[in-house]
Chain A
Amino acid sequence: MMPVLSVSGLTASYRKNKVLNDVRFDVQPGTLTSIVGPNGAGKSTLLKVMLDLHPRLSGSVRFFGKDYSKAKSRIGYVPQRGSVDWDFPTNALDVVMMGLYGKIGWLKRPKRMHRDLAMGALEEMGMAAFADRQISQLSGGQQQRVFLARALVQDADLYFLDEPLAGVDAATERAIMDTLKVLKNKGRTVMVVHHDLQTVEDYFDQVLMLSRSVVAHGATAETFTRENIFRTYGGTLRWMGEKLG
């Protein structure tokens, strides 16, 4: 099968520091992959470089066999919650509607149909009751769900999520993971930057272990081993003793 995402020789830096070095991997359709690695491993940078939000020094990224600019409409991106100012005067429904702006068409006004689509996505995330709520008045978990709803209305084939489970409540974590599994079962591909190693095995069928370059990549059961975790984190992890020791 043709991979939905094919990355090779990807290198990028922040100022003078090389953050990504010769990153290469392929992702098969219908998989749910977690990207794990220590702080500064380049997880978020990897997403940003792939999505042309951060310059790359070298390497190639192909989506569905095409360049990003030609595959844009099939890709959904959920940035870190902290990347926007939640004090912006707008409500939850309005934010979700933004996911439809490409479909509505530039300079055109949204129609009833688009409103219903956005409402449906909010409902899917259990947020229908908060549609009219100011986004500044939502809890962190609720904001994250609004962001995911915005990605859902894009109806993309490939999703990237940057730390969607960071600092959210248990109910939100469940709602998000359920949604991601539904997407996967529909044949969509999902990649998630993830920080909680305890849940990797429960939540994801694939794991990409990153430390500036790819340490290991494959099915979670075979790849997420003690040895690979040591190689990725350099043995700095405190909890490893109790879990795998």
Chain B
Amino acid sequence: MSLALSHNAQWVLFSTLILGVAAGVMGCFAYWKRQSLMSDALSHAALPGVIIGFMIAGSKNLPLMIGGAAASALLGALLIGWIRSSSRVKEDAAMGMILSVFFGLGIMLLTFVNRMGGGSQSGLDSFIFGQAASMVRKDVFTMSGLALLVVLISIIAFKEWKLYLFDPQFAKGLGLSSRWMSSIYMTVLVLVIVIGIQAVGVILMAALLIIPAVSSRYWTNSFLWMVVLSGLFGGMSGMAGTLISTFGKGWPTGPFIVIAASTIFIVSLAFGASKGLLVLLLQRYAQKKSLDRPMSTQRVLERGEAG
């Protein structure tokens, strides 16, 4: 790889950065809605839509494929909701079912398309593990534009998101329609997933939503900062993963993005300022040390009252 990236590569890098930021921010929302795993189910469920979009267009037409991905991810979400509410099957089992059924269906369709001839050159395989390098200028613009839109929606309604995620019942009492918020949330989540699948791939897209959010939790006790940091971590992972994948020809992007994100996670787990292991260890040590020193009865009493 040369350090002076080609013009196209610079744009691709920029778009994975924005994508990472959008995924990091939305990942925080999904984390507090206890739907981290849902994002995984949705991204797997997007695959058949991508292939069907391709079959309809007859060529790689990104808007149509994104539309197809969104439609099939939403169908997956609806089915999960329907299974949960109309049967005794619990949500995690429903997600597991939908995730694998939709993914299997997608792979089956992909095999057909590849057999039909010309398909193998279509670059459809890149939607499974992600191939940022396969993006052309138009893809980059579509993706970055939509990712910016997601970030914008999160910023404008930040106060409302916080209320909705912390206490949806109370939010409803204040007149913040939970049906509206849920719909917007689901739409934005699906949007992030479908714009990310070309660069990151359906299998690993959820990692870019989950890992930055979890990592940022180790650094802060403020929701605002958690979202900001998560966006930052997501952006860094997106960029780092894309950069590394340019080292070799045909290297997939998704796995490297996930490795980059996980590295940030491990650092956060160990050194995080709020809940990191090192901080906890130091606190415990300090407590133990203060206990080892003999205390006068008077001080014990004072402590008891203060506690």
Footprint of B on A, CB under 8 Å? Answer: 51-53, 72-73, 75-77, 79, 83-85, 88-91, 95, 98-99, 101-102, 104, 106-110, 134, 150
Contact = CB atoms under 8 A, between A and B. Distances in A.
B178 to A, nearest CB: 9
Contacts of B173: 51, 72, 75-77
A148 to B, nearest CB: 13
Contact of B167 (A79, A91, A109, A110): A79
B163 A98 contact: yes
25 contacts: A51-B173, A72-B174, A72-B175, A76-B173, A77-B170, A79-B169, A83-B167, A83-B169, A84-B167, A85-B32, A85-B166, A88-B32, A89-B223, A90-B162, A90-B166, A98-B163, A98-B166, A98-B167, A98-B170, A101-B159, A102-B174, A106-B157, A107-B156, A107-B159, A107-B160
A131 B233 CA distance: 30
Interface residues of B, number: 25
Contacts, number: 69
Interface stretch (B104-112, B201-209, B214-222): B214-222
Contact residues of B: prevailing secondary structure: helix
Of residues B32, B157, B160, B167, which shows the largest number of chain A Cβ atoms within 10 Å of its Cβ?
Answer: B167
A189 B232 CA distance: 48
Interface in B132-191: 156-157, 159-160, 162-163, 165-167, 169-176
A73 B176 CA distance: 12
Q: Which 6 A-B pairs have the closest CB atoms?
A: A102-B174, A89-B223, A77-B173, A84-B167, A89-B221, A88-B166
Nearest to A53: B169
Interface of B: 32, 156-157, 159-160, 162-163, 165-167, 169-176, 217, 220-223, 225-226
A89 B160 contact: no
Given A79-B167, A107-B160, A109-B159, A90 B174 contact: no
A175 B19 CA distance: 49
A88 B223 CA distance: 8
A76 B171 CA distance: 11
Contacts of A75: 173
Contacts of A72: 173-175
A89 B159 contact: no
Contact of B176 (A89, A106, A108, A110): A106
Contact of A101 (B165, B174, B222, B223): B174
A95 B222 CA distance: 12
A89 B217 contact: yes
Contacts of A84: 166-167
Nearest to A75: B173
Contacts of B157: 106-107
Contacts of A106: 157, 160, 176
A52 B172 contact: yes
Contacts of B175: 72-73, 102
Contacts of B165: 88
Nearest to A98: B163
A99 B174 CA distance: 8
